[in-house]
Amino acid sequence: MGKRFLCFILIILLVFIGLIPMEVDSKSNVDNKLRLGITSFPTNANPWTQSKQADNALQGRVYSWLSRMNERTLELEGDLAEDWSVSEDGLIWTIKLREGVLWHDGEKLDADDVVFTYQTLLDSKDKEELTFKRKKDVKEIEKIEKINDYTVKITNSVPKAYFVTEPLGTVRIVPEHIWGKMTLEEMLNFNNEKPIGTGPFKVKGSFNPQDNILELDRFDDYFEKAANIDSMLYILFENKDTMFQAFKNGDIDLFQPSKTQVPQLEKDEKFKVVKVMLPKLTQLGFNVWSDPENPKKQHPLSNGNPLLLNPKIRRAFDYALDKQKLVDVVLGGVGDVGSTLVPTSSGKWHLDIPHEYNPEKAIELLKGEGFTSFITEKIGGREVKVRTNDNGEKLIFRLALLSNGYAWHYRESMPFMTKWLEEVGIGLVIEPMDGSTLGERMSLEGENPCDFDLFIWGWTPGYEPSFILSVLTTDQIGGRSDAMYSNAEYDELYNLQMTQINEKERLETINKMQKIILEEAPYIALYYQGAYEAYRIDEFDGWVQRNGDGTVFNNESYLEVVSKAPIQKSEDKNQETDKPPSEQSQNNEASRGAFSNPTIWAVIAIVVIGFIILNKKEKR
């Protein structure tokens, strides 16, 4: 009876073990795939209408531009363009294309594709109903011509200093043999489920924005060097907590952890955690809408506090803030102290003027403007001493504080900023609101136009500085400008740098502009935000970090990263092409499942030996 019972137990154990779903063995990357964790999935594969940053996960891998930024140096270099030159007057650009470039369907790229792409944008330029995303990038172009199969000529109406960046580095080249059969309206409405580009990766199967896994296969005929990995998968997660667990379990190889997750990851030798700088500016902005007829006076329609038109009072704010503490405590050390308008991630375009935290100088400035007395006011249920002058004007200002999720660091910064400003005699009345409400408050129309004093908000301007510089031009009042700043000298310098083809001369002009904003302080740069990125170094090598302190999520990484594990090649790597990405992933993971684990085989061996021993005893 005892032997039969033991035999029964061994059988149950064997069956139970066979049913256990084992974790993926993260050290056996037999499929040579790179898995990236994301929290926002691509929604659009149409290069004409891309509007979300998440769409770059697909389009930035599939399509190519004429120029691109070198990830290591931040310098511009050719992508589909082999070389270019510009006439002395800065109006005519001659672009020589690479030869032998293939589209993903095997067709050859030539000048016809480039002319078609740009001509499509030019044809839509004056038609508001045609919402081609990049048509504003070609507004200076008068015409584009084919010189020969691999040379094009572009004529501009005015010189454009950053022409190599925009449009050469922003307009994705599309194949004429696919898109040329459509009308402009049809192009905008085309789902492009099977995008054809010339980039280093191509979509596996069809793109579906409802999926939660996007798989991109290596393009073996990529015009430079084919990637070392066979494919890359973008895997969608609900939040960073589930993504964190997946990374620790070996289900993904790269993701952005939160600052609270970093300490645990840093203790594990399998992982590398890096601080990366992003092209982000977070600023304290002021309502400085002035009267065009008398710039020292407030605009008659403004509902802001007129004291903020005084640049010395605004500069006092800057000196009063310990920005390094905001970076260390609020951002967890992931960021740079803010000083000038252009972020540090813009490389040479950032003017490096260290921030001076000096409360005594702030007090000196406020006293110099006549704010020598104090009065106690009740603010937010607390009694606060604020400075006042002989006219009875008090340094109390309304600050719009955003409640949106992305504004978490604004809110965490607020207790520190409130304390530091109160120490120099400035009181803040905090007004929580979402971004839409603040946008309405900034409107120049309605019953209460421009109804705010100051705010914290941010920009993600990219590497090229022209966009962030444009925000504070007079032309943008009522447009992008949220400070309503106007300075004739600044406007002149902005227009000048737009036409300076000579990079050294342009840099000098941009530096002058940054100095003006630092001294006038319509914006106070609080910090340039960064992020953490974590990736596996036990399974992959060859990661490339942009410019030494930028993101690892870039094409150079995806091309150069190489698996450390022995690769088991499939006989037919395309046999599952027609299956949806989510099903492909499940099949792949199943092949790396329970019975790839040596522990399971050891237990099975013990069970088998048990059967043999029992069987021998029964025969005796």
pLDDT single digits (tens) 440-461: 999 999 899 999 999 999 999 8
- Is there a single domain that holds both residue 347 and residue 256? no
Q: What is the pLDDT of residue 313?
A: 98
Q: What is the pLDDT of residue 618?
A: 44
Q: Does residue 38 lie within any of the structural domains?
A: yes
Backbone CA torsion sign across 326, 330, 336, 342: negative
Q: What is the DSSP code (8-state) at residue 513?
A: H
- Is there a single domain that holds both residue 178 and residue 313? no
Higher pLDDT, 326 or 19: 326
Q: Does residue 620 lie within any of the structural domains?
A: no
Q: What is the pLDDT of residue 591?
A: 38
Range of the domain at 43: 28-274+552-563
Q: Does residue 134 lie within any of the structural domains?
A: yes
- Is there a single domain that holds both residue 286 and residue 263? no
- Does 13 score more than 60 pLDDT? no
pLDDT single digits (tens) 482-516: 999 999 999 999 999 999 999 999 999 999 999 99
Q: Does residue 619 lie within any of the structural domains?
A: no
- Is there a single domain that holds both residue 268 and residue 289? no
Q: What is the pLDDT of residue 617?
A: 44
Q: Which two tokens stand for residue 38?
A: 């994301």
- How many Cβ atoms from other residues are within 10 Å of residue 290's Cβ? 19
Q: Does residue 137 lie within any of the structural domains?
A: yes
- Is there a single domain that holds both residue 269 and residue 286? no
Confidence band of 54 (pLDDT split at 50, 70, 90): confident
What is the number of domains present in the chain? 2
Phi-psi region of 250 (alpha: psi -120 to 50; beta: other; left: phi over 0): left
Phi-psi region of 333 (alpha: psi -120 to 50; beta: other; left: phi over 0): left
b/e map 501-526, b = 16+ CB within 10 Å? beeeebbebbbebbebbbebbbbbbb
Q: What is the pLDDT of residue 74?
A: 87
Instruction: Give me Rg for the CA atoms of the chain.
Output: 30
Q: Does residue 176 lie within any of the structural domains?
A: yes
- Is there a single domain that holds both residue 455 and residue 376? yes
Q: Does residue 17 lie within any of the structural domains?
A: no
DSSP string, 344-383: GGGGGGS--------HHHHHHHHHHTT--EEEEEEETTEE
Determine the residue type at 213. Answer: I
The CA dihedral of 444, 469, 47, 57, to the nearest 10 degrees, is -110
Higher pLDDT, 8 or 172: 172
Q: What is the pLDDT of residue 606?
A: 56
Confidence band of 25 (pLDDT split at 50, 70, 90): very low
CATH code at 241? 3.40.190.10
CA distances to 281, 286, 554 from 472, rounded to whole Å, are: 14, 12, 31
Q: What is the pLDDT of residue 30?
A: 62
Determine the residue type at 396. Answer: I
- Is there a single domain that holds both residue 298 and residue 252? no
- Is there a single domain that holds both residue 270 and residue 365? no
d(CA 366, CA 392): 14
- Is there a single domain that holds both residue 384 and residue 523? yes
Confidence band of 50 (pLDDT split at 50, 70, 90): confident
Confidence band of 56 (pLDDT split at 50, 70, 90): confident
Q: Does residue 569 lie within any of the structural domains?
A: no
CATH code at 432? 3.10.105.10
pLDDT single digits (tens) 566-611: 655 444 434 443 333 333 333 443 333 444 455 454 555 555 555 5
DSSP run (H or E) holding 34: strand 33-38
DSSP run (H or E) holding 9: helix 2-19
Mean pLDDT of 292-300: 94
d(CA 171, CA 121): 9
Q: How far apart are the first and last CA of the chain?
A: 16
- Is there a single domain that holds both residue 308 and residue 237? no
DSSP run (H or E) holding 282: strand 281-286
- Is there a single domain that holds both residue 115 and residue 253? yes
- Is there a single domain that holds both residue 308 and residue 362? yes
